[in-house]
Amino acid sequence: MSTEHPEEGRVVRFPTGGVSGEVDIGQLFDAHAAYLVRVCIRLTGSRAAAEDIVQEVFVTAHRRRGDLIPDSNLRTWLYRVAVNLVRHHHRSSGRFNRFVDRYKVDPREAPAGPDVDVERVERAHLVRDCVAELSEKQREVFVLYELEGISGQEISEVLGIKLNTVWSRLRLARKAFRVEWQRRHGEGDHP
């Protein structure tokens, strides 16, 4: 796919949908930003941090536009960059965020509107809270497999680990999630 680009600085050359060509960075953003923001929110628990990270993903993609391998899986590449930036974010800002959190109450973002099912929103937050309790490695696999619906093979490529490691981490993550869910949700609230 090739498009006209009045602003050369935005042009990124790598494949989309298996067809090599030049893609406007705006188009690239439209095609990939939503799931990247979503997965970064799920991994960081913060929309603001997720947006910062996604911005870095696209800036990185743009700067490395000449080095990207044609016909590579762009989605996997973007996921990999995003996940690694999330890891970096956790390390570099963890201490500062702990202190910031100490001094503020972070109100939960809740969808607004008359049709919003309050109970469902609460349960959604409960899921997110339980995911946040997983270890970083388990959380990555759990989010990518259970919430993003990515295949095990692609997860192994995104995380740079063996497929068997993906499954073992998923098994542990499920176990930990279930324990945390039971603890928070209450064992007597369901059959």
What's the rounded Cα separation, in Å, for the pair 76 and 157? 7
Q: How far is the CB of 76 from another protein (least distance, A)?
A: 8
Q: Which of 3, 71, 125, 175 binds another protein (CB under 8 A)?
A: 125
What's the rounded Cα separation, in Å, for the pair 176 and 135? 9
Instruction: Give residues 146-185 in contact with another protein (rule: CB under 8 A).
Output: 146-147, 149, 151-152, 160, 163, 167, 170, 174, 178, 181-182, 185
Q: Which of 21, 52, 75, 165 binds another protein (CB under 8 A)?
A: 52
Tokens describing residue 117: 């099912």
Which spans in 45-162 are helix H?
Answer: 47-63, 74-102, 118-132, 136-142, 152-159
Instruction: Give residues 18-47 in contact with another protein (rule: CB under 8 A).
Output: 25-26, 29-30, 33-34, 37-38, 41-42
The answer to whether residue 133 forms part of the interface with another protein (CB under 8 A) is no
Q: Which of 19, 111, 162, 183 binds another protein (CB under 8 A)?
A: 111
What's the rounded Cα separation, in Å, for the pair 190 and 126? 15
